[in-house]
Amino acid sequence: MVDGVRVVSGDSGFLEDIRGKDFVFVLVLGTTDTSLIPGITIAGASPELTHYTPPADAEYLVLGRCRVIPGIPVTPDGIPTPAVITRAAVKLAGAPVLVVDAGLRVKPLIPYVDVGGRPGGDIRSGSAVPLEVVEEVFYRSKLLGEQLAKLGRVIVVGESIPAGTTTSLAVLVGLGYDAWNRVSSASPINPHGLKRRVVEEALRNAKLRSDMSPLELVSRIGDPIMPAITGIVIGAFEADRDSKIILAGGTQMASIVALLKEIKREVLGNTAIGTTRWIVEDRQSDLKGLVEEIDPSVPVYAVNLDFSRAPYPGLRKYEEGYVKEGVGAGGACLIALASGRVGLEELHNAIYEEYSRLVNAK
């Protein structure tokens, strides 16, 4: 067991295996026009600004400040991006960060890996990303995963893509899972009804067939980070069967697990999900149930973050159901704790310090 980490699903074997290991943190970025649908996401102060959130998150993670926007990404209520948590945690874990552009409309002004992606469209069209782009991103991301495997480190993959839970819902439903009302939201009031209407329209226009490949399904109703993350995981596994992968995120990672199961099921034996307590305690979503339906052997670990006594109102809002997860925050905290370098209290203090630096820099 690792202090501060809860085994939500599966067993603790994976967690024992990664104790004291070295890590590399990969942040996969993308945008879609699905995030422009009013009310679908609060990952940005306005729908238009959601296209700036992923590059700004990446800049904040690496630099401690943003370049593509003034300030940092916030919700319409001004609650800060979870990149604040991720930055504090990856520093504690001593993990290098690699940023991947899987398809961004706005590029970050820091080094990033190009994998041939393109921004996704609005999934309501039923043709979200051209199939040749999905296949190329998958191919190149496998190459990236192969090189990452040679580092001999645990690979942690986080994401930043606004409206990513909606595209995940579409893919889960498209793959046959009853995922309605079970994906999470950065908002305390999950817009399940709106997400359902969007996904139903997407499914109507996508004209899915039962003989479609998983990548073809992604090209109709998914988003560009899906082929990138699945590619990295599969490439790493093919290069080294001992590669360990942590999918750092909430219910978006359930769709990744579902896709991995379709494309190359064996990799799930080396894969875990790392997330936050806010995700697994959320009553408006069901990460645990979704993963158990897809493959009950995939462990889900949650870090017991608790900001109820945080000295900043922006962080205390997390306890009211805002944000919950993103930019791989939960997985980053997991590796900080698993590294054995810090405990839960030091982790909280480091996050508060990071937030304090941010507030004082304004």
Distance CA 35, CA 32 (A): 6
Q: Cβ of residue 279: shortest distance to a second copy, in angstroms? A: 27
Kindly state the smallest distance separating residue 293's Cβ from a second copy, in Å: 33
Instruction: Rank residues 22 and 306 by Cβ distance to a second copy and give the closer one.
Output: 22
| Closest separation in Å from C-beta 211 to a second copy | 29
Element (H, E) at 22: none
What is the rounded CA–CA span in Å between residue 109 and residue 336?
27
Residue (7 or 151) nearer to a second copy, CB: 151
Least distance to a second copy, CB of residue 170, Å: 27
Q: Which is nearer to a second copy, 109 or 131 (CB)?
A: 109
Closest distance between a second copy and the C-beta of residue 214, in Å?
Answer: 21
CB of 49 to a second copy, least distance (A): 23
Calculate the CA dihedral of residues 140, 141, 147, 151 and round it to 10 degrees: 170
Kindly report the backbone phi and psi dihedral angles of residue 241, in degrees, each rounded to the nearest multiple of 5, phi listed first. -65, -10
DSSP run (H or E) holding 192: helix 192-206
The answer to whether the CB of 334 falls within 8 A of the CB of 303 is: yes
Q: Give the residue with the Cβ less far from a second copy, 36 or 335.
A: 335
Bridge partners of residue 302, in order along the sequence? 6, 275
**Which residues, listed in sequence order, are joined to residue 6 by a DSSP beta bridge?**
302
Closest C-alpha to 212, from 268, 137, 131: 131
Residue 149 CB, shortest distance to a second copy, in Å, is 8
* Best CA proximity match to 129, nearest among 115, 142, 117, 144: 117
Burial of 240 (0-12, 13-18, 19+ CB in 10 A): middle
- Chain residues binding a second copy by CB under 8 A are 22, 24, 62-63, 94-98, 100-101, 107, 109-116, 136, 140-141, 143-144, 147-148, 150-152
Residue 126 near residue 206 (C-beta atoms within 8 A): yes
Instruction: Give the closest residue to 67 by CA, choosing from 113, 109, 106.
Output: 109
> Closer to a second copy at the Cβ: 15 or 100?
100
Nearest partner of 52 among 119, 140, 137, 113, judged by Cα: 119
Q: Which is nearer to a second copy, 47 or 231 (CB)?
A: 231
Of the pair 115, 128, the CB lying nearest a second copy is at: 115
